[in-house]
Amino acid sequence: MAKSRTAPCRQCRGTGWRPVPGGGGVTPCRCRNAPRTPLTLAEAGVPAKFRDGVTFRDFDELGASLRHARQTVERWADAYPDVRAGLLLSGPAGVGKTHLAVSALHRILRERAIAARARFVHVTTLLYRIRDSWGDPDVSEEMILRPVCSAELLVLDQLGAVSGAWAEEKVLYLLNRAYTDGARLVCTTAYPFRAPRGEAVLGDRITPSGASLLREACREVRVRGDDYRDTVLQEGLSA
C-alpha cells in the first residue's frame, strides 16, 4: 500500500510553482526535487462522485466495442509512464468515457502507486471559472491554470463541450502548454477526429489547430454503446 501523503508545500501549496516576490510571476519550487508520494484521487481533482467504485473492474461492458475500449485504456494505464502518446476517448454521452479516464487515474495513482503529478479537469467548469475570474481582483487566470499546467498527467473531461472564440483560445493555450511541457493527456469528448459529412468533429469545437495538435499527442479510442443512464440506471429506478 502507498504511504500516506505529506502536507502540501507551504511555498507553492502543492502546485510545484512558487510566486516570485514583487509580483514577478512564478518560478519552479524547490519541492519539485523532493521525494514524492502518490496523490489521492481527491488531490488530483477527481470529483467526489467518481472517487469510489470507478475502476476498470466496475466498468459495465455492454457490448464488444466497450470491452475493446476498456482493454485499450487499461493496457495504457498499466504501461504508463512508458507510453508513446496519450488517449482521446471519443463517443456519445453515457457510454463510460469519464469512467474509463478516472479508472486510468485510479490504476496509476492508487493501484500502481506512481507518484505522478496528475490532474483531472472538467473542461466546462474550468472555462467558466476562468471567465468568472475576469472581474475578481483576488483570483487571476494564472492562479486557476497553474495546477493544471503543472500536471504531467492531465485528464481533460468533456473537451469541446463549450465553444466560442474565448473558450477556443483558452483550450488551445492549455493544449499547447501540455504538449510543449511533455504532459501525457487523457481527453474525453463527444466529438471524434473524423465523422461522416454533416456531423461535427473535434476541430469544429476546439479549432483545427487544437485538433491537429491532439492527433499528434493522443491516440483516439472510439467508445461506442448505448447510454448507460438509459439502459441500466433508468431500469433500476423503475424497478
- In a domain, residue 76? The reply is yes
Q: Output DSSP code: residue 116.
A: -
Task: Give the count of domains, the chain.
Answer: 1
Q: Is residue 164 part of a domain?
A: yes
CATH code at position 50: 3.40.50.300
82 lies in some domain:
yes
Is residue 187 helix, strand or coil?
Answer: strand
Q: At what angle do helices 141-149 and 123-133 cross, to 10 degrees?
A: 150
Residue-level pLDDT at 125: 96
Q: Is the confidence at residue 9, as pLDDT, over 80?
A: no
Has residue 24 been placed in a domain? no
Cα separation, 65 vs 83, whole angstroms: 22
3-state secondary structure of 181: coil
Domain that holds residue 63: 42-238
Query: Would you say residue 12 lies in a domain?
Result: no
- Do 188 and 159 meet the contact criterion of CB atoms below 8 Å apart? yes
The answer to whether residue 168 sits within a structural domain is: yes
Q: What pairing do the DSSP bridges indicate for beta strands 184-189 and 218-222?
A: unpaired
Give a yes or no: residue 150 inside a domain: yes
pLDDT value at residue 70: 96
Whether omega for the bond prior to residue 196 falls within 30 degrees of 0, making it cis, is no
Amino acid at 11: Q
The per-residue pLDDT for range 87-110, each reduced to its tens digit, is 999 999 989 999 999 999 999 999
**Residue 23 located in a structural domain:** no
